[in-house]
Amino acid sequence: MKILALSGSYRKKGYTARIVQMQCTSWARKGYVFDACVHSLNGFKPHTSVNTFWQELGAMPCELVERKEFVSAVLPDGTYFHNYFDLEKLESHLKQLSPEDTAVIDEYIILTVYSSHARAS
């Protein structure tokens, strides 16, 4: 984020700035590859401070597409995992994938709701 802000400052002063991602973190474990590289920019919801920031940087030159999930993945057996933004949909999906983990899923959803309310206040 600091690099984007610096780039935005230079752009406002008439300089051209190019950001090149040099470092990418990924690792393999138990047959899965976890790729933590930046694949998208978030925070585009209108009338938010992050949206304003992206607009000031000129990082929003196109029409926005609303997504239903933060990320989706296909497991080796072909099962799809969707990390939905809608918590009710996420809860249902997680319980469908792993009904034996219902108690843990309930706790996760409750803590997610609690933390989102704590941030908002």
pLDDT at 75: 87
**What mean pLDDT is predicted for residues 34-60?**
68
Percent of the chain with pLDDT over 70: 59
State the chain's mean pLDDT as an integer: 76
Higher pLDDT, 14 or 84: 84
Give CA–CA dist 87/92, Å, rounded: 8
Q: Model-level pTM?
A: 0.53
